A and B are shown apart, each in its own frame.
Chain A
């Protein structure tokens, strides 16, 4: 049984992030950067190479507040794995409780697929796409802060703001016409 965002009760002052990405993509480096940030609540980071999560231990697993898909634009495998994993995630997460992090998005010459495929993936799941890099310290920190901002909203630490409220400010796409 796949986990959903409301199947478990939240713990007091705890937020849990699940990082999903193929092996070697830098999940643990990102997790380290996330944990280094000072938070007023206790932050847990879990990692997985793919979804769905195994059935064993599912009872002891805490509620997942936010899911981050990590993918590398230069790596075809990571893209296809992300596509497969995203299908397994419960739909309630795509109401602002999940996001895609694209690594190496700017070095276009090395991409193994067109960028529009990746943006298409994010749009199909109606989730924000963040671009960044895990290579150097500052970039990692910058990315971690952004993820934390979203996690705070989705785990309810921001008073009177829900992920849906933020999603509601999105003006729907009608076309993707270039200039």
Chain B
């Protein structure tokens, strides 16, 4: 009997104490009683001076905000609000507080729409009801019944007050079978009457997506927001309710959370604006059971698919992989790591096709047709997503290559540079001529008229491209050629047997049968050529030298590290530029590269003796060995043996007539490039002498006698010039005068 007391007491305090009052009293005045008040026919329905009503509505609001309302309560309150039993002010407050504790029962929505059809509720209440459905759309327990009312809802578009909201709701609900010619007609005639409105365009564009032949409408490319959100406070409340429900469903793992967050739209506004280009994950098909268990109780043929929103964990994903309904807007997979897995395993090509169409269209729109000046952050985001996606797939998207080729031709060399260059590194392998025409030539013409930093970036890009080729593309190309041959053979043998599934590539690309190794060889030669010239132009810029050496460090271990039966010795242009460089880093790394080549050749030699390779390869190797031996001889003569310019060595660079040497006036010219007198090594020799010689003594590098050379080498090793030391240990037989020539030379 406590309730009547409270009721009687409250009027005097209500005005002064305000809203906190019912909250603390909620122990005594429960939501049940509030609902009972609203539903009973005998309640007083006056707004002014009716404490019972005030108390009840406040109780409902507070409970809804704190923990949400149960399904039953929501059903009852929808009836109350939509039947216009109470004045509009009360009804609207009720609708705004219809926040669920778990899910919103579908019956409540159906009830709301049936009330709307009676024309009992006013326009405002009707529009509020529709907005409520839109806001809580993700929280509905099922959509089938609501979807069954699609035709009924469609009639509401004639109501001008309701039209924007109804269009939005239909936009969310539309499935392919809903797109009918007469609906398109109705929308177009409506558009004629009210003018071009974003919400009508929005709905039409969904229709166009499903049935392009029914809608001949040009959607303006700038229009991206079709439906404006007006109820900020309300949507914030709904958002809180969603979070509350999300928290209660025991924690899904973090990657899943990311998927969910894109489903439940939990992004900050600023970020969302940036992400606009990639749609959020949504499926028009939502089947029953949102509890997140795997093994859905699926009924009916139509429900053989599971929408992605219902996938709550990785196990779910695995169990439902074959019946997964991918999002309506396929591009959403770019943003979701889980869906990328799903896409990879998807056997049907049309999914990939959809993605390709979208990508090409959007890339064109954002990069080529983007007219206004300044960077386009949407394009940057898109390119970054694309890079992540190709990194995940370990292969390029063919349509992206296609676009890139087109874009490179008119590229100014600075727009989106990091992204473009990164995408280039993922290029597929093609015959070199094709690669040159499509990719290398545009890059080259920019290369020679840009700064040294751009040159470095290009060399780095080509290094990474080569790495991609030898580690991924080369084996895949061989497998693909094999696979295609098998496929053709089996197609000829038995026309209608099931062909083996392509396991090698996500994309259905036909691969030409060509010598992929030739591409690699020519690419290497090409990079060698342009980098030699670039070094000449940039006067051996150290940064550029670093990238060129990095390239050769990769080339020098292609066989041992990547198992590619190929070797290419750098041309003398780059080799000698590095040898006479004024930087010790360059010399040391050059020595290390030469050591790598020695191991490489020895390994190749063994391989050749086991199996006979083609003649090109053997001649390639013979030339390589010759060149390498000459380099080794020159290096050891110059660095260690003090014989650089002695005649009879028959080397390229040191073969200068004695008379010409005498005119230079340099004393001990044969020692000029030894490890203590080489221009790059002088500072090291100096600091070595400062450490070893008594203080104050005048030092000269020639003080390092042959007996002290071991100590000096130790010193160089401490200074991280390992390459020089490794070279001398490999190629010089210590305490003897003859160099230990490369084993490969024999």
Contacts and interface: CB of A to CB of B under 8 A. Distances in A.
Contact of A115 (B402, B409, B438, B529): B409
B398 interface: yes
B440 A171 contact: yes
Contacts of B434: 175, 177
B436 to A, nearest CB: 5
Contacts of A132: 412
A149 B398 contact: no
Contacts of B369: 107-109
B441 A173 contact: yes
Interface stretch (A24-32, A45-53, A134-142): A134-142
B405 interface: yes
A86 to B, nearest CB: 17
Contacts of B371: 107, 110
Contact of A179 (B374, B401, B433, B446): B401
A174 B437 contact: yes
A161 B573 CA distance: 13
Contacts of A95: none
Interface in A55-96: none
B188 interface: no
A107 B412 CA distance: 13
Contact of B367 (A99, A106, A115): A106
A128 interface: yes
A165 B448 CA distance: 11
A110 B438 CA distance: 24
A179 B450 CA distance: 27
A170 B367 CA distance: 28
Contact of A175 (B367, B373, B433, B449): B433
Interface in A116-130: 119, 128-130
A6 interface: no
B445 A128 contact: yes
Given A145-B451, A166-B448, A131 B411 contact: yes
Contacts of B40: none
A178 B410 CA distance: 15
A18 to B, nearest CB: 17
Nearest to B371: A107
A133 interface: yes
Contacts of B444: 169-170
A131 B537 CA distance: 23
Nearest to A129: B445
B669 interface: no
B433 A174 contact: yes
Nearest to A159: B539
B449 A147 contact: yes
Most buried by B among A99, A147, A161, A171: A171
Interface residues of A, number: 43
A160 interface: yes
Contacts of B411: 131
B357 interface: no
Given A133-B412, A178-B405, A171 B536 contact: no
Contact of B402 (A110, A131, A143, A179): A179
Consensus secondary structure, chain B interface: helix
A28 to B, nearest CB: 20
A67 B16 CA distance: 86
B449 A119 contact: no
A146 B437 contact: no
Nearest to B367: A106
Contacts of A128: 445, 448-449
Contacts of A105: 410, 412
Contacts of B410: 102, 105-106, 115, 131
A115 B529 CA distance: 30
B533 interface: yes
Q: Most chain-A CB neighbours within 10 Å: which of B373, B412, B444, B449? A: B449
Contacts of A1: none
A150 B449 contact: yes
B368 interface: yes
A158 interface: yes
Interface in A5-55: none
A161 B368 contact: no
Nearest to B439: A179
B725 to A, nearest CB: 33
Nearest to B221: A109
Q: Which of B374, B440, B526, B533 has the most CB of A within 10 A?
A: B533
Interface in B350-403: 364, 367-371, 373-374, 398, 401-402
A119 B412 contact: no
Contacts of A136: 373-374
A115 B445 CA distance: 17
A146 B536 CA distance: 18
Contacts of B374: 136
B297 interface: no
Contacts of B402: 178-179
- Across the A-B interface, give the 10 residue pairs with the lowest CB-CB distance, nearest first: A105-B410, A146-B449, A128-B445, A149-B449, A171-B436, A131-B410, A132-B412, A179-B402, A150-B449, A131-B412
Interface of A: 99, 102, 105-110, 115, 119, 128-133, 135-136, 139, 142-143, 145-147, 149-150, 153, 158-161, 165-166, 169-171, 173-179
Interface of B: 364, 367-371, 373-374, 398, 401-402, 405, 409-414, 433-434, 436-438, 440-441, 444-446, 448-451, 526, 529-530, 533, 536-537, 539
12 contacts: A105-B410, A105-B412, A106-B370, A107-B368, A110-B371, A115-B409, A142-B413, A147-B449, A149-B450, A159-B539, A171-B436, A176-B437
Given A160-B536, A169-B533, 8 more contacts: A106-B368, A139-B373, A142-B412, A158-B536, A166-B448, A169-B530, A171-B441, A177-B437
